[in-house]
Structure 1
Amino acid sequence: MLIASLAALAILAYIVASALLARPLLGRRDTQPRLPLAIATVAVLAHAGVLLGAHRGALDLHFFAALSLVAGVVSALTLVVNLARPVAALGVIVFPLTALLLAIDAYAAPATAPEPMDWQIKLHVSVALLAFGVLSIAAALAILLALQERALRHRQFGALLRSLPPLTLTETLLFRLIAAGFVLLSLTLLTGILFVDNLFAQHLAHKTVLSILAWIVFGVLLVGRRARGWRGRRAVNLTLAGMAILLLAFFGSKFVLELVLHRIG
């Protein structure tokens, strides 16, 4: 009952926070970002309580539990990003999706139990979660950057454009996030090499290949930015392509194994 109540509180808080953050985008009276971000903080804390209670305080990496966990991490990182550089529109993308994934895990997904892990694997998974979270926010920011550039090109100086930081600041934040995510993804691959014993027995071979491919995409983007000043549509496309590959690496196999082949555990 407590877990269900915490989940309901988190879902409601995520929705209210995203609705308040969306007001300026709809051309309505601006809401001070402190209030929706404070509500989102309550949502993240309640979400953490659900994850700790429902999954026995351990890392549960089954499909729906992992989606909820990653969504919670992304929402928490969204709050951190807004402390450094306010981009309230990120919450409009992240928080409703997090609410949906939490609702599925809390109320619709089958019950699962965390599998035992050594500390080395927990370290590997934790770094991977941070890498995925940071690059997910970069992908959301890339979408906002694309909308911002399109609005400027067509001289559509509406509420959306006014609610976002200047284009150069958005782009700078995007590449800082990609650089941080690239470092974390590099550490993910390194800890995987050091700590994972048998890639084929653990259904990790294709996950590793896809992760390396995503790492190459983000690395090429960073080199292109530094050497040739890549920006705009090319940066957006490469960011979204790298994120799509990473999404397949993290959740593609889980979807097939657990929801198609029904192999859980």
Structure 2
Amino acid sequence: MILPSASPVGWLLALAAAVTYGVSALAGSRFSPSQARFALMLAWVLHGASVAWGLLGQAPHFGFAPALSMTAWLVLIAYLVERQFFPQMRALWVLTLLGAVAVLLGVVFPGKPLHALSSPWLPLHLTLGIASYGLFAAAVVHAWLMTRAEKQIRLAADSPSGMPLLTLERLTFRFVTAGFVVLTATLIAGWFFGEVLYGRAWVWDHKSVFSVLSWITFGVLLIGRSRFGWRGRHAVNVLYAGAVLLLLAYVGSRFVIEVLLGKAGA
């Protein structure tokens, strides 16, 4: 069951962002670097406006698809910042596709209405959770680029990302570390202040179980990296496993509730 779609303004912003992402990807090779950067920045701004309208518009909504849309938007922030330090980085088509799909999903499945919040601190808790999604998503993108770079090195070819393998590896684990810190703060807030935030104490539901399992997985990855020097395919596989568990925690559970079961409630 598809929930009622977003408002006409939300659709207009999302479609404009998706089209601009497409232009940025398809015409990127024909644009000058400054023009390509402007096109991507414009798409990112329109994407952000679409997300903001869904949260702050006349009928604010939030759910699994807006969470994915915000995650993609945050990953693009990381890419735009990194391009300032690593102009040779090449991952545009992947990120523009991710952004276009995510922003459209956000208006097709806008989620549940946001009524009066049970706590003024709840937006901060939601922001921490989405920030952890964004940081781990950025880590996954870098890990994917790192895997591709390793394959190209074995074939004696240039890295498809345009960045050195060791640089990609360092960036991947910096994002993992930052994401782990933010996820830890999110879980601590939910554990100790759940009753204040949501009107009920911590409950061991699907979201909680998958969140804790992902936290343990990422913690094992960081310990394995620092103590045993984990790297390469083994480390990447553990990262992917943790990312899947984290995705199932909120996005997966909300997808089942909102789409498969057709419920708009919390």
TM-score (norm 2): 0.83
Cα–Cα, structure 1 residues 114 and 243, in superposed 2: closer, same or farther, change >3 Å? same
In 1, the alpha carbon distance for the partners of 2:64 and 2:46 equals 21
Q: Does 1:192 align with 2:190?
A: yes
Query: Does the residue aligned with 1:164 lie in a helix, a strand or coil?
Result: coil
Letter in 2 for 1:186: T
Structure 2: where are the runs of 5+ without partners? 1-7
Letter in 2 for 1:35: Q
In 1, the alpha carbon distance for the partners of 2:24 and 2:89 equals 10
Task: Kindly indicate whether the alpha-carbon contact (under 8 Å) linking 1:131 and 1:185 is maintained by their aligned counterparts in 2.
Answer: yes
**What is the match of residue 215 of structure 2?**
215
Letter in 2 for 1:190: I
Q: Does 1:243 align with 2:243?
A: yes
How big is the shift at 1:239? 1.1
Give the alignment's Cα RMSD to 1 decimal: 2.7
**What is the match of residue 138 of structure 1?**
139
Query: Does the residue aligned with 2:113 lie in a helix, a strand or coil?
Result: coil
Query: Does the residue aligned with 1:71 lie in a helix, a strand or coil?
Result: helix
Task: Kindly indicate whether the alpha-carbon contact (under 8 Å) linking 2:145 and 2:161 is maintained by their aligned counterparts in 1.
Answer: no
Task: Kindly indicate whether the alpha-carbon contact (under 8 Å) linking 2:90 and 2:160 is maintained by their aligned counterparts in 1.
Answer: no
Task: Kindly indicate whether the alpha-carbon contact (under 8 Å) linking 1:90 and 1:141 is maintained by their aligned counterparts in 2.
Answer: no
Cα–Cα, structure 1 residues 110 and 175, in superposed 2: closer, same or farther, change >3 Å? closer
Q: Does 1:181 align with 2:188?
A: no
Cα–Cα, structure 1 residues 55 and 128, in superposed 2: closer, same or farther, change >3 Å? closer
Q: Does 1:6 align with 2:4?
A: no
Task: Show the 5 A alignment for 1:83-232.
Answer: 83-86=84-87, 88-106=89-107, 108-109=108-109, 112-117=112-117, 118-155=119-156, 157-158=157-158, 161=159, 163-197=161-195, 205-232=205-232
State the percentage of identical aligned residues: 33
Task: Kindly indicate whether the alpha-carbon contact (under 8 Å) linking 2:111 and 2:258 is maintained by their aligned counterparts in 1.
Answer: no
| Post-superposition CA distance 1:120-139 (Å, at most 9, x none) | 22111101111110100100
In 2, the alpha carbon distance for the partners of 1:199 and 1:2 equals 33
| Post-superposition CA distance 1:133-183 (Å, at most 9, x none) | 01001001111111111111232x15xx15421111111111111111111
In 1, the alpha carbon distance for the partners of 2:207 and 2:260 equals 17
In 2, the alpha carbon distance for the partners of 1:40 and 1:204 equals 41
**What is the match of residue 82 of structure 1?**
83
Task: Kindly indicate whether the alpha-carbon contact (under 8 Å) linking 2:23 and 2:39 is maintained by their aligned counterparts in 1.
Answer: yes
Runs of 4+ in 1 over 6 A off after TM superposition: 198-204
How big is the shift at 1:16? 2.4
Letter in 2 for 1:14: Y
Structure 1: where are the runs of 5+ without partners? 24-28
Query: Does the residue aligned with 1:212 lie in a helix, a strand or coil?
Result: helix
Cα–Cα, structure 1 residues 253 and 224, in superposed 2: closer, same or farther, change >3 Å? same
Query: Does the residue aligned with 2:244 lie in a helix, a strand or coil?
Result: helix
Letter in 2 for 1:43: A
TM-score (norm 1): 0.84
Task: Kindly indicate whether the alpha-carbon contact (under 8 Å) linking 1:10 and 1:99 is maintained by their aligned counterparts in 2.
Answer: yes
